[in-house]
């Protein structure tokens, strides 16, 4: 195999040159490949969908974690659903105020293989005592758990395979119940065209579950089309509208800044209105 072709869109594909396959097998839950590509470094795909690359993973992980944590301002607990490569846990640990980080990942193989082949993603996060790893289906876990969190970040695959359970009304309702007062829920929501065509109901579904609903975005070259959407489910619009405290921003970030944070919520109309970008 010379090229890895992302084929989950019926009419739209992207390809990455495979310089060397480092690992390829079926785990208990999904097909997992890690390969090298000269432009992106090491690349991981699950069930044929690119998940992360060494080159630009920081954009995604800094956005997913720092936007809700810094918007909240006093977050002490974080629940990560998915995130097996460890990039989200790594970013979360940069916040000294986060005393407890629970990560619920369905597939232990993603964690093991990411530690082996993508060690800079987790950068030791899975050995940190503030991170508690739980191996379980995130949907089932939030349904059955009683603990509540200041921030919930869903760092999951698209709504195919094991990830499908994380795109249901039941899951969103359960996450809303797991939020503390002033809590914030965020989730990766695909590119704007996905949002329209494949997850077009999502805004409404989140609206049913959370008092404050919004989307924000970052440009991640790895993901199809570039713009990557994130959904926001808050308990109070004031949390989303408040300016993040510059003094609380971790040092050494490559993407996030308070200005980028504000800009992430400024969306072109066509990102949310399918009719404006109809073919
Ligand atoms: N950045 C990526 C993206 O946007 O596509 C997400 C990467 S992360 C590797 C996705 C993780 O979600 C995987 O490790 C996968 O095993 C996990 N996952 C999928 N479905 C899950 C579920 N139902 N419960 C918990 N974790 C799940």
> pLDDT tens, 50-95?
999 999 999 999 999 999 999 999 999 999 999 999 999 999 999 9
21 SS3 class: strand
Nearest to 212 by CA among 82, 102, 71, 101: 71
**Per residue in 230-269, pLDDT tens?**
999 999 999 999 999 999 999 999 999 999 999 999 999 9
pLDDT number for residue 199:
45
Nearest to 72 by CA among 183, 165, 166, 163: 183
Cα(276) to ligand 1 centroid in Å equals 31
Using a 6 Å cutoff on CB, does residue 153 contact ligand 1? no
Site of tokens 């490569």: 85
Q: Which CATH architecture has domain 3-51?
A: Roll (2.30)
* 167 band by pLDDT with thresholds 50, 70 and 90: confident
Cα(106) to ligand 1 centroid in Å equals 8
Better pLDDT: 192 or 66: 66
Please state the three-class secondary structure of 189-236 as a single string: CCCHHHHHHCCCCHHHHHHHHCCEEEEEEEECCCCCCCEEEEEEEECC
The whole-chain average pLDDT of the chain stands at: 92
N-term to C-term CA, the chain: 33
Where in the chain are the domains?
3-51, 57-267
pTM of the predicted structure, to 2 decimals: 0.96
Q: In this structure, what is the dihedral angle of CA atoms 163, 208, 193, 19, given to the nearest 10 degrees?
A: -20
Q: What is the C-alpha separation between 195 and 193, in angstroms, rounded? A: 5
CB 31 within 8 A of CB 46: yes
Output the six-digit token pair for 53: 């690359």
Positions marked catalytic: 155
Using a 6 Å cutoff on CB, does residue 22 contact ligand 1? no
DSSP-assigned letter for residue 250: P
CB 192 within 8 A of CB 270: yes
Site of tokens 């405290």: 245
CB 2 within 8 A of CB 17: yes
Output the six-digit token pair for 167: 């795109």
pLDDT number for residue 192:
81
Q: What is the C-alpha separation between 264 and 262, in angstroms, rounded? A: 5
pLDDT number for residue 202:
47
pLDDT at 200 over 50: no
Homologous superfamily of 57-267: Vaccinia Virus protein VP39 (3.40.50.150)
Cα(271) to ligand 1 centroid in Å equals 24
pLDDT at 204 over 70: no
Protein residue whose Cα sits closest to atom 3 of ligand 1: 51
pLDDT number for residue 207:
67
Share above pLDDT 90 across residues of the chain, in percent, rounded to a whole number: 80
* Nearest-10 crossing angle of helices 169-177, 202-209: 30
pLDDT number for residue 174:
96
Using a 6 Å cutoff on CB, does residue 137 contact ligand 1? yes
Q: From the CA atom positions of the chain, what is the Rg in Å?
A: 18
């Amino acid at each position: 195999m010379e090229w890895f072709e992302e084929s989950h869109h019926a009419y739209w594909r992207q390809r990455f040159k495979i310089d060397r396959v480092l690992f390829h097998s079926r785990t208990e839950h999904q097909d997992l490949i890690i390969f090298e590509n000269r432009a992106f470094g090491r690349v991981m795909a699950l069930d044929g969908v690119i998940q992360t690359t060494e080159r630009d993973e920081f954009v995604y992980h800094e956005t997913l974690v720092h936007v809700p944590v810094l918007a909240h301002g006093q977050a002490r607990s974080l629940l990560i659903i998915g995130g097996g490569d460890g990039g989200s846990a790594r970013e979360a640990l940069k916040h000294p105020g986060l005393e407890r980080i629970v990560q619920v990942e369905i597939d232990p193989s993603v964690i093991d293989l990411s530690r082996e082949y993508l060690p800079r993603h987790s950068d030791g996060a899975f050995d940190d005592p503030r991170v508690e790893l739980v191996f379980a289906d995130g949907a089932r876990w939030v349904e059955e758990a009683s603990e509540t969190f200041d921030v919930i970040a869903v760092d999951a695959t698209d709504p195919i395979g094991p990830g499908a359970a994380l795109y249901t009304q039941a899951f969103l309702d359960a996450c809303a119940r797991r939020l503390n007062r002033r809590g914030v829920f965020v989730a990766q929501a695909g590119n704007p065209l996905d949002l329209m065509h494949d997850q077009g109901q999502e805004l409404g579904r989140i609206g049913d579950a959370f008092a404050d609903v919004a989307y924000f975005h970052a440009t991640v070259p790895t993901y199809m089309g570039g713009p990557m959407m994130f959904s926001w489910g808050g308990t109070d619009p004031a949390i989303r509208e408040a300016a993040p405290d510059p003094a609380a921003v971790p040092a050494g970030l490559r993407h996030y800044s308070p200005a980028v944070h504000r800009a992430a919520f400024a969306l072109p109309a066509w990102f949310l209105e399918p009719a404006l970008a109809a073919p």
